[in-house]
């Protein structure tokens, strides 16, 4: 889901004094945050005296989400005999606390696997019979559908520990195909998550689609563990998650949620040493905000409490048994602060805190020599460029069956200026998801490999990585040394590596403006909520930064939740950052743009309408053409979008130039880098109009969670007067007749308000009204007996002022 944000109204600074924004109330309501924790209360607290305290503790953190195992072997130990007692009590307590619950359907009883005599009464991780699993899923969802709407099918099937005798994506796809209709039949409002997969196994995710199950879940779950590395060196958002996003763009867009990740405070399966407790707390906040900046919609930490001597990922220490909650780690307070400060806030992107210097602009292309692998070419080309007239075009051919890559070395090697902390490059992608890497040679003669990121879809994106940390031994290409880059250093190669190794195929990408980012290593992620900007800021090694602002005063909240006031000077806050993140609440100096704008392009001819047939509308004097016309006609036409009220033209939207056209009720945007039907996107005008009116949807009274078509993401339910209209309209995403919940959501978005009696801006009359992300529903009783008893507000006209 894309978010459009209105820039701050800077003129207000001339009229009134800016006040220091207040931090979010420490009693923030559970359920509003996008962050959560794996609680496992039902399965690890077998008596109510144990889980009552755990539920209260989680609610006290203002967590938005919890993840609970629904163990099949426990609930149905014998075929057809269910034992609901413990789950009934635990789920009732959790649901009553206000948090959103993700139920994980997993861990088969032996009787449901090919090995019924294997450890009877104990869990089995052998692949279960899909039909039996579907019956189990239906029974669980039916029982808890009034309290749990989000259901996850299994856990880490790419891991031999959880799918025996060995991972099998075809078998897991069959499980999804059986479970999805069973869950939807038991609760049409249920939302189904795929099993969380560690995204280094991206080939497993692709195989789910190859085996016909891409349509058998609503949300793609990943487990982005990067330990033993830090969130930054492990590229927790810009690395494997970026590759997953590219894959999703190609296969069909779905929301991405992280349902597990973390760092252990002792020996773990992934890290024999672990980290100290302070570092765990810092990594929790840093990784959570980086994942949100990367587009991950929900971020769920693993886990609440340590229960074994190893794998100490919990927010509480192991001592005293499961019911002893008296020994929190610092990460518990960090988790509470994260939820409280970012409840209801939407991510904008990364903040650029370093000084940039272009190292190679490719205008003077020079000499590049291909390595021993005959897998491609690198040449000067002007058909795509980020700045100037020339970029480097990299053509590749990967035959597949093994690790294919191609290496290009500059002659002579290219020196890096000074001692930069990061290196990046602009890439025009082809949607392949292959890994782009560089080889850097340091003062000791040691050549090290750094992964910049993964090649995305068509369009320019900036891939970058830190280059001042220690690399893994396998990323030493030649020489000897300390596995760290000792400056001065030179660029000795650009590498494109197939991802995963089994991939085959060919393509072309363009590279431009190789850039060194200097200054102390510092990071920032920007969020917005209402009129406030909330910046999460830190520096692993310590740094002083100046952050531009339009406010004379801001509020700083440390990792423990302590607040203090900070004064700005000369339009900026001077901040001493360390490894422990802070939250700075202020009002930004301008609409946020995480990357520098390209140099002005040469003057271009006036834009022409999209190629294809056109339809003129004499009612307004404008025409709709090509892809926009096709989209307009296929997805509702006049009742949904209204007449065109302007030409198709280039518009500045979210800091980028986008081809778009205004209609009476919405704005249609062309994004040709996306695969259909997502090459046309709708403006988020419902939310924008609410914000323009000075109303914050978080402040509206919440709806009844038991209501039909209730959405916990916003705490609202669709009013009975609008349910039929909402359910009978949508974007046709699957080509089948009728509209699914997801297709209606794609058209209208989530409800943002309860039904309200409001004065209509068009005719001045009062109607029952409900606000959605992309629409405003109006109930017109005077039109009873006609198809027009429900009308959509003229948001396009109201936004543009055109009549």
pLDDT of residue 11: 27
Confidence of residue 501 (pLDDT cuts 50, 70, 90): confident
Please give the Cα distance from 528 to 535 (Å, whole number).
8
- Count CB atoms within 10 A of the CB of residue 785: 6
**Exposed / middle / buried, residue 713 (Cβ in 10 Å: 0-12, 13-18, 19+):** middle
pLDDT of residue 734: 66
Q: CATH second-level architecture of 355-518?
A: Sandwich (2.60)
Across 77-91, 473-487, 692-706, least confident range? 692-706
Q: Where are the beta strands (DSSP E) in 568-700?
A: 572-577, 582-586, 614-617, 622-625, 649-653, 656-662, 667-670, 680-682
pLDDT value at 321 more than 90: no
pLDDT of residue 459: 85
pLDDT value at 487 more than 90: yes
pLDDT of residue 26: 39
Q: How many residues does the chain have?
A: 803
Please give the Cα distance from 87 to 93 (Å, whole number).
10
pLDDT of residue 786: 80
Q: What is the DSSP string of 757-780?
A: EEE-TTT--EEEEEEBSS-EEEE-
Secondary structure in 3-state letters for 288-351: HHHHHHCCCCEEEECCCECCCCCCCCCCECCCCCCCCCCCECHHHHHHHHHHHHHCCCEEEEEC
> Left if phi > 0, otherwise alpha if psi is -120 to 50, otherwise beta: which for 190?
beta
Report cis status (omega within 30 of 0) of the bond before 695.
Answer: no
pLDDT of residue 461: 87
% of the chain with per-residue pLDDT over 70: 91
pLDDT of residue 120: 62
Average pLDDT, integer, range 83-90: 92
pLDDT of residue 323: 79
Domain boundaries, the chain: 1-24+347-353+520-595, 36-342, 355-518, 614-682, 692-800
Q: Are 218 and 742 in contact (CB under 8 A)?
A: yes
Residue 9 vs residue 260, higher pLDDT: 260
Q: What is the pLDDT of residues 519-545, one digit of tens each?
A: 778 999 999 888 789 999 999 989 898
Q: Are 637 and 616 in contact (CB under 8 A)?
A: no
% of the chain with per-residue pLDDT over 90: 55
pLDDT of residue 564: 94
CA angle 668, 740, 431 (to 5 degrees): 55
pLDDT value at 376 more than 90: yes
Q: Are 207 and 214 in contact (CB under 8 A)?
A: no
pLDDT of residue 588: 60
Across 43-52, 164-173, 431-440, 737-746, least confident range? 43-52
Residue 79 vs residue 618, higher pLDDT: 79
pLDDT of residue 801: 80
Report cis status (omega within 30 of 0) of the bond before 263.
Answer: no
Q: What is the pLDDT of residues 32-76, one digit of tens each?
A: 899 999 999 988 765 555 678 899 999 999 999 999 999 999 999
Q: What is the pLDDT of residues 330-345, one digit of tens each?
A: 999 999 999 999 998 9
**DSSP letter (8 states) at residue 644:** B
pLDDT of residue 352: 83
Confidence of residue 118 (pLDDT cuts 50, 70, 90): low
The residue to which tokens 């607290």 are assigned: 45
Confidence of residue 711 (pLDDT cuts 50, 70, 90): confident
Pick the closest to residue 441 from 408, 402, 414, 422 (CA basis): 414
pLDDT of residue 117: 67
**For residues 129, 130, 133 and 138, what is the CA-based torsion angle, rounded to 10 degrees?**
-150
pTM of the model: 0.70
pLDDT of residue 597: 38
Confidence of residue 655 (pLDDT cuts 50, 70, 90): low
Which CATH code fits 1-24+347-353+520-595? 2.60.40.1180
Please give the Cα distance from 235 to 466 (Å, whole number).
9
Q: Look over the chain and give the mean of its residue pLDDT values, rounded to a whole number.
A: 87
Pick the closest to residue 634 from 739, 728, 731, 724 (CA basis): 731
Nearby residues of 701 by Cβ (< 8 Å), 6 or more positions away? 754
Q: CATH second-level architecture of 36-342?
A: Alpha-Beta Barrel (3.20)
pLDDT of residue 277: 97
Residue 752 vs residue 250, higher pLDDT: 752
Please give the Cα distance from 750 to 139 (Å, whole number).
28
List 566's β-bridge partners, or say none: 554
The residue to which tokens 């109201």 are assigned: 798
Confidence of residue 692 (pLDDT cuts 50, 70, 90): confident
Across 136-145, 493-502, 674-683, 741-750, least confident range? 674-683
Pick the closest to residue 420 from 476, 470, 468 (CA basis): 468
pLDDT of residue 238: 83
Across 145-154, 358-367, 395-404, least confident range? 395-404
Average pLDDT, integer, range 693-710: 84
Q: What is the pLDDT of residues 593-645, one digit of tens each?
A: 334 334 333 333 334 456 678 888 888 888 999 889 988 888 888 888 889 99
pLDDT value at 265 more than 70: yes
- What is the Cα gyration radius of the chain? 27
Please give the Cα distance from 745 to 747 (Å, whole number).
5
pLDDT of residue 502: 81
Confidence of residue 348 (pLDDT cuts 50, 70, 90): confident
Q: Are 777 and 792 in contact (CB under 8 A)?
A: yes
């Amino acid at each position: 889901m894309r978010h459009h944000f209105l820039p701050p109204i800077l003129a207000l600074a001339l009229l009134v004094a800016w006040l220091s924004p207040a931090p979010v109330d420490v009693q923030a309501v559970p359920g509003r945050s996008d962050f959560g924790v794996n609680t496992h209360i039902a399965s690890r607290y077998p008596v109510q005296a144990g889980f009552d305290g755990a539920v209260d503790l989680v609610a006290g953190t203002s967590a938005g989400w919890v993840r609970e195992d629904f163990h099949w072997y426990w609930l149905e130990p014998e075929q057809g005999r269910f034992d609901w007692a413990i789950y009934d009590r635990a789920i009732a307590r959790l649901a009553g606390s206000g948090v959103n619950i993700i139920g994980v359907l997993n861990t088969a009883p032996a009787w449901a696997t090919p090995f019924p005599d294997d450890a009877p009464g104990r869990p089995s991780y052998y692949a279960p019979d899909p039909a039996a699993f579907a019956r189990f899923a239906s029974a669980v969802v039916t029982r808890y559908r009034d309290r749990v709407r989000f259901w996850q099918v299994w856990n880490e099937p790419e891991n031999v520990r959880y799918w025996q005798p060995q991972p099998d994506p075809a078998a897991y796809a069959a499980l999804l195909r059986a479970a999805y209709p069973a869950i939807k039949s038991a609760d049409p409002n249920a939302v189904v998550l795929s099993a969380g997969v560690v995204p280094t196994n991206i080939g497993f995710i692709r195989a789910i689609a190859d085996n016909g199950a891409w349509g058998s879940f609503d949300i793609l779950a990943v487990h982005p563990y990067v330990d033993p590395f830090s969130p930054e060196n492990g590229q927790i958002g810009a690395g494997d998650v970026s590759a997953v996003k590219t894959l999703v763009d190609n296969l069909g867009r779905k929301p991405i949620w992280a349902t597990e990740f973390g760092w252990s405070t002792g020996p773990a399966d992934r890290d024999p040493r672990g980290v100290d407790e302070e570092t765990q707390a810092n990594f929790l906040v840093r990784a959570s905000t980086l994942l949100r900046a990367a587009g991950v919609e929900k971020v769920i930490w693993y886990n609440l409490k340590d229960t074994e001597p190893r794998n100490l990922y919990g927010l509480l220490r192991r001592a005293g048994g499961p019911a002893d909650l008296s020994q929190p780690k610092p990460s518990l307070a960090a988790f509470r602060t994260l939820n409280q400060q970012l409840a209801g806030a939407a991510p904008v992107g990364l903040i650029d805190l370093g000084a940039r210097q272009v190292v190679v602009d490719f205008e003077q292309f020079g000499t590049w020599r291909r390595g021993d692998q005959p897998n491609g070419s690198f040449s000067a080309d002007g058909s795509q460029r980020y700045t100037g007239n020339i970029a480097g075009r990299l053509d590749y051919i990967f035959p597949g069956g093994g690790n294919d890559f191609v290496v290009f070395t500059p002659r002579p090697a290219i020196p890096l200026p000074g001692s930069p902390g990061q290196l990046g490059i602009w890439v025009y992608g082809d949607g392949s998801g292959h890994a782009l890497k560089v080889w850097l040679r340091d003062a000791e003669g040691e050549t090290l490999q750094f992964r910049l990121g993964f090649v995305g879809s068509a369009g320019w994106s900036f891939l970058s990585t830190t280059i001042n940390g220690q690399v893994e031994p396998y990323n030493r290409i030649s020489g000897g040394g300390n596995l760290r880059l000792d400056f001065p250093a030179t660029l000795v190669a650009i590498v494109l590596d197939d991802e995963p190794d089994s991939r085959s195929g060919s393509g072309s990408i363009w590279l431009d403006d190789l850039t060194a980012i200097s200054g102390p290593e510092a990071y920032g992620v920007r969020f917005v909520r209402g009129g406030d900007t909330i910046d999460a800021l830190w520096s692993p090694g310590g740094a002083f930064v100046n952050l531009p602002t339009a406010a004379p005063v801001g509020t700083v909240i440390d990792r423990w939740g302590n607040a203090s006031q900070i004064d700005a000077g000369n339009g900026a806050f001077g901040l001493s950052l360390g490894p422990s993140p802070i939250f700075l609440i202020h009002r930004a100096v301008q609409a946020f743009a995480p990357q520098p704008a390209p140099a002005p392009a040469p003057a271009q001819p006036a834009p022409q309408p999209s190629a294809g047939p056109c339809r003129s509308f004499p009612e307004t004097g404008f025409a709709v053409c090509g892809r926009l016309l096709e989209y307009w006609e296929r997805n509702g036409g006049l009742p949904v979008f209204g007449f065109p009220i302007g030409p198709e033209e280039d518009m500045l939207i979210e800091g980028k130039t986008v081809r778009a056209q205004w209609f009476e009720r919405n704005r249609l945007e062309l994004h040709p880098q996306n695969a259909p039907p997502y090459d046309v996107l709708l403006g988020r005008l419902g939310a924008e109009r609410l914000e323009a009116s000075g109303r914050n949807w978080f402040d509206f009274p919440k709806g009844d969670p038991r209501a039909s078509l209730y959405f916990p993401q916003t705490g609202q339910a669709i009013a009975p007067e609008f349910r039929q209209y909402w359910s009978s309209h949508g974007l046709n995403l699957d080509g089948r007749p009728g509209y699914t919940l997801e297709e209606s959501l794609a058209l209208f978005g989530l409800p943002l308000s309860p039904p309200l009696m409001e004065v209509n801006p068009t005719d001045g009359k009062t109607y029952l009204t409900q606000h959605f992300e992309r629409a405003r529903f109006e109930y017109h009783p005077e039109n009873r007996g006609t198809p027009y008893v429900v009308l959509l507000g003229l948001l396009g006209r109201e936004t543009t002022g055109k009549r």
